[in-house]
Amino acid sequence: MKILVVGGGGREHAIIKSLKKSPRVTEIYAAPGNGGIAADAICTGIGAKDLAGITTFAKDNAIDFAVVAPDDPLVLGAVDLLEEAGIACFGPNKAAAILEGSKVFSKDLMKKYHIPTAEYRVFDNMDEALDYLKTAPIPTVVKADGLALGKGVTVAMTRQEAVAAVRACMEDKIFGESGSHIVIEEFLTGPEVSVLSFTDGKVVVPMVSSMDHKRANDHDTGLNTGGMGTVAPNPYYTPAIAAECMEKIFLPTIKAMNAEGCPFKGCLYFGLMLTPDGPKVIEYNCRFGDPETQVVLPLLESDLLKVMTACTEGTLADTEVRFSDGAAACVILASGGYPVAYEKGKPITGLVDGQLPDEPNVTVYHSGTAITEDGQLVTNGGRVLGVTATAPGLPRAISIAYEAAEHIHFDKLHKRTDIGMRALKALAEKE
């Protein structure tokens, strides 16, 4: 089968590497792809939001199956266009992708169908939002309604921070029209858990749980980013909590989307907070997370293509989805200055064909890399590489990932040194 994967980051690289293992896959194309993906797929250079270009390419090249990975093309309706062109596709259609495309929609859905989440208020008038903040409980959380590259959320620890976040969204328009409507919600406490899941609109099959590290610097300080590293599984996510989430959150969400006339098929990401009152939804994403995918898919033992086609065809209940009982850790190597200003074009050393030689348990996923005309691998984004290690247990996976990362160099490289430390602490507390 000829496969097209839409996107050009670390998540897409992980999806492509996993799809390559399927005996049914003959060719993989990426739109646009990147310098590292080029070793595993044919990069088309077509932008992920160029829906017409993607659809035309898919038709002209007789693509059998497409995977739309990023949020923007999903929310814009890439799946709808591809399916209209007769191409089977993994991912939610435009109507279902609103679950991530609009925070207001998702919060109202949870309220309507009694899915546990934080208390909230919605505002489309800045003065009213600022007036509410005069008496609102602090800390509070301010969210832009629409997509904002995973950076549209501010956890405001003071009233001044909350006011600044509202003004940044609604007055300065730092997230464009995404900030015209905002959600101000209750600050929840407890461990965070990310659970990606496969769904065909009827059943939900959760993947291995993971723990993301959003802040730019050690000890969860610095600015919010797209994610600086991940570990899986998340030790806070016990079998009992998993069962409670299935009963109160996962299945009710799928049923709610069906009831609203927009059934969800594809990968549904549940961002959860394990509060003293039980698990609650922080956010939904309508696709694989990044960098969560880089630790979850390396643990998948089943054929990813089979699972994805089952989601598309509505046969997931009859399809085996098996994960190893090992662990994985991913350390992101970022450009200095990320997530604000950073330079591109820095030569990367230490890799051979994009990978670390003689490291059988390590995979380097490329997020922001390019190949120059003379064949040099260089940085081309804020998050550059994700170094993922697998091992029987989490402590070993973390240490292998960090040892491996030491072999990779580029000017102004920045990484956190504490990825997985919270998870190790939680494991120690369990013993």
Give the pLDDT confidence score for residue 150 in this predicted structure: 65
- Most distant pair of Cα atoms in the chain: their distance: 60
Share of the chain above pLDDT 90, in %: 93
* pLDDT for res 12: 98
pLDDT at 420 over 80: yes
pLDDT, one tens digit per residue, over 365-412 is 999 999 999 999 999 999 999 999 999 999 999 999 999 999 999 999
Model confidence at 335: pLDDT above 90: yes
Query: Residue with structure tokens 């990779």?
Result: 408
The CATH number of 192-318 is 3.30.470.20
Is the per-residue pLDDT at 250 higher than 90?
A: yes
Per-residue confidence (pLDDT) for residue 429, from 0 to 100: 87
Mean model confidence pLDDT for the chain: 96
The dihedral sign for the CA sequence 245, 248, 253, 254: positive
Distance, CA of 230 to CA of 211 (rounded, Å): 5
Which of the following CATH numbers is that of domain 125-180: 3.40.640.10, 1.10.540.10, 3.30.1490.20, 3.40.50.1220? 3.30.1490.20
Q: DSSP string of 42-76?
A: EE----TT-HHHHHHHHHHTT-SEEEE-SHHHHHH
Query: What does the DSSP 8-state code read for residue 293?
Result: H
The predicted structure's pLDDT at residue 178: 79
pLDDT (mean) for 292-321: 98
CA 42-45-50 angle, 5° bins:
125
Is-above-0.85 flag for pTM?
yes
Residue 224 has pLDDT above 90, yes or no: no
Q: Model confidence over 91-130: pLDDT tens digits?
A: 999 999 999 999 999 999 999 999 999 999 999 999 999 9
Cβ atoms of 385 and 415 within 8 Å: the answer is no
Sorted by where each begins, the domain ranges of the chain are 2-91, 125-180, 192-318, 327-430
User: Has domain 327-430 been given CATH number 3.90.600.10?
Assistant: yes
Which CATH number applies to 2-91: 2.60.40.1260, 3.20.20.140, 1.10.3720.10, 3.40.50.20? 3.40.50.20
Q: What percent of the chain has pLDDT over 70?
A: 99
Burial 274-304 (b: 16+ CB within 10 A, else e): beeeebbbbbbbbbbbbbbbbbbbbbbebbb
Closest CA to 365 of 298, 267, 300: 298
Q: Which helix (H) or strand (E) holds 364?
A: strand 362-366
pLDDT band for position 179 (50/70/90)? confident
Phi, then psi, of 396 in degrees rounded to 5: -70, -40
- Alpha helix stretches (DSSP H) within 119-261: 126-133, 159-170, 239-245, 251-259
